[in-house]
Structure 1
């Protein structure tokens, strides 16, 4: 992974991701001071998810017309300009219109909605085929470290320099990210295909997934797991800590932290043993799929706080290994032209699924109790694992000999 372009990609993406966390933390402080309303704060993730869904759905139109590097660099540059507008607005009118702030959030999320699949599709182009597992592991590891440290550091920065200044700090990070994105070099030749109708282009990613058995099956698993993994969002874990473990809010933070530690450990394992993952792709994917189901069910029906921390770490480890394995499999099997469109469709699917499943599992937790939400999640994960085990067409011959 000595490619300078790969370094530019992960450094630029890390700065962009850290900036995304920082500006949201800064906005939480500003919006709460302006509105004193938890409802407006709840709109932040909703608007963010909705913007990414719309963008993910429309992204094939851009992938058809522009090279991935162009999309990544331009997306980050335009995000930087909108963040400049947001920083200026919140500085001039710190008690300004919530609607205008939400508009900026939606726009920045919309721009991210095509940047995310573009960066994931770019990765296998910048490293040797033998290094894809290691590159995915490293990329995921950096992302998780940013997520783990970003929220804590962002909170400290808000307390130290204030929400507006944190947004200005994000502006600086976005500028640096834009520079790194522009420095990347993609040797894959881009050629515009023949003119197609908008309807045909929008359907291409979905059609590729639906009409290719291996992609169809892996996305069935991704869809099921997208529903189930909602139980690990902060809101449901908060209820679990209060009602089941009967512990203080501090334990909510402990569980979130141990979960991210598990993700980091899983990423480190894949980075340390990439050849083992490649040789045993099928076995690793099935084993980790079964493991996440067991860990989720056990966690949901456990009442011992210390054991909950252990299970949270275990879930994070196996979930990360499974995600990296699936990511590598998809990148290996898809063509360079199909991959961005597949990721665009996948991003729209998971964003929509996440939003609807949050309401579903949140409602189940309210009506029947939070443990039933974990029961449903664990059952769905078990179904996904069984589906994976019996999907013989999912793995080509080169993988089934292990």
Structure 2
């Protein structure tokens, strides 16, 4: 945890994540001023997820040929160049083409699609095995703190300045992130995989790694259910729930999101304080909190009391954080240094695809029937994932790799 490279990693990733938040906030402001179309605003997260999905699917080709640090640095450098080009486009052209703006969103998301898995896979290389739970907790606290403050502060910046100015400010954050990532020292040897003309095999390598391991397979079956179920927390569904069920103004959408991020931060603090207990009981942490998340989701969907929804959302954030740390620790302790980035890349692509598809399905349910049905369905899916974890609990054991 005292490693200089670890500090460079979390500081660089924090600057990059904060930049990502500011850039999206600024871009949404610019797009709304140009089009005043909610549909165009909805295209931003869709295009963002689509770019990440494509990137995640082809990332094994890159991971087999380049060290993680190089991918991290190159990705951040290219993101910085693209954002600079986008800034110039917005400054020099008072009415820029919306399709050109969305193209920038697509390519920046594409670059992020392999940077995020590479960053997570880099972490266990920079800290000792016995400090992984603590390092994951710290990383999560920083990440959620950036999210909690970034959206609020980004909104204030847009209100007092402008979307174009916020994007220019993001360019500075990206430059700092690039310099931090250049300073990382990864002593893990890299062995370049020789291509023998079978790129289809390389592209499916992540699938094979996950499927051949009972632990990885069981973890990702649960992740699939959760990725579909967690779509209920997207803005379009939560906004309808706040106005129609809770009977509150749109400000409560912000309060609920803030409660969730506060819960995530509290969960990270709890994990860092009770590292040994959690590390020695990863299987039970996974099972107990899986059931806890499903119950809290059901209760949230059934409540009509505004203050209770905030409490339930905070509890959900705590449980999600602790469970997420357990899942990451299982992967980081068991996967080899070559397998881990490919697992994270596929996981990222899978979640992005499921999010995009499920958001349409859950959105249709919320529009055609009652929005509470989406939360009931989500709770059922999460319960299925929890029951699956209990049935196959023998798979959840750590076999540490060097």
Q: What is the root-mean-square deviation of aligned Cα atoms in Å?
A: 1.2
- Give the equivalent residue in structure 1 for 2:15: 15
- Give the equivalent residue in structure 1 for 2:358: 357
- Alignment of 1:262 onto 2:263: yes
Q: Which consecutive unaligned segments of at least 5 residues does structure 2 have?
A: none
Residue pair 2:207, 2:346 contacting (<8 A) in 1 also: yes
Residue pair 1:145, 1:264 contacting (<8 A) in 2 also: yes
- Alignment of 1:178 onto 2:209: no
- Give the equivalent residue in structure 1 for 2:340: 339
Residue pair 2:334, 2:399 contacting (<8 A) in 1 also: no
- Give the equivalent residue in structure 2 for 1:377: 378
Aligned residue runs from structure 1 range 24-35, under 5 A: 24-35=24-35
Q: CA deviation at 1:194?
A: 3.1
1:160-209 deviation digits (Å, cap 9, x = unpaired): 22111111100000000000011000010001123242111101001111
Q: Distance in 2 between matches of 1:159 and 1:305?
A: 28
Residue pair 2:134, 2:275 contacting (<8 A) in 1 also: yes
1:252-299 deviation digits (Å, cap 9, x = unpaired): 111111011111111111112111110111111111001000000011
Residue pair 1:34, 1:94 contacting (<8 A) in 2 also: no
- Give the equivalent residue in structure 2 for 1:328: 329
- Give the equivalent residue in structure 1 for 2:118: 118
Equivalences, count: 399
Aligned residue runs from structure 1 range 3-402, under 5 A: 3-196=3-196, 197-396=198-397
Residue pair 2:84, 2:171 contacting (<8 A) in 1 also: yes
Q: TM-score, normalised by structure 2?
A: 0.97
- Return closer, same or farther for 1:74/1:328 CA change in 2, 3 Å cut-off: same
Q: Distance in 2 between matches of 1:94 and 1:39?
A: 21
Residue pair 2:144, 2:261 contacting (<8 A) in 1 also: yes
Q: Distance in 2 between matches of 1:151 and 1:94?
A: 25
Q: CA deviation at 1:386?
A: 0.5
Q: CA deviation at 1:393?
A: 3.4
- Return closer, same or farther for 1:87/1:141 CA change in 2, 3 Å cut-off: same
Q: Distance in 2 between matches of 1:39 and 1:364?
A: 18
Q: CA deviation at 1:233?
A: 1.6
Q: CA deviation at 1:63?
A: 0.2
Q: CA deviation at 1:396?
A: 2.6
- Return closer, same or farther for 1:288/1:392 CA change in 2, 3 Å cut-off: closer
SS at 2:204 equivalent: helix
Q: Distance in 2 between matches of 1:320 and 1:335?
A: 24
Q: CA deviation at 1:95?
A: 1.6
Q: CA deviation at 1:19?
A: 0.5
Q: CA deviation at 1:392?
A: 3.3
Deviates more, 1:363-372 or 1:79-88: 363-372
SS at 2:64 equivalent: helix
Deviates more, 1:127-136 or 1:191-200: 191-200
- Return closer, same or farther for 1:373/1:237 CA change in 2, 3 Å cut-off: same
Q: CA deviation at 1:376?
A: 0.4
- Return closer, same or farther for 1:305/1:167 CA change in 2, 3 Å cut-off: same
Q: CA deviation at 1:235?
A: 1.7
Q: Distance in 2 between matches of 1:77 and 1:222?
A: 31
Q: TM-score, normalised by structure 1?
A: 0.97
SS at 2:244 equivalent: helix
Residue pair 2:283, 2:393 contacting (<8 A) in 1 also: no
Q: Which consecutive unaligned segments of at least 5 residues does structure 1 have?
A: none
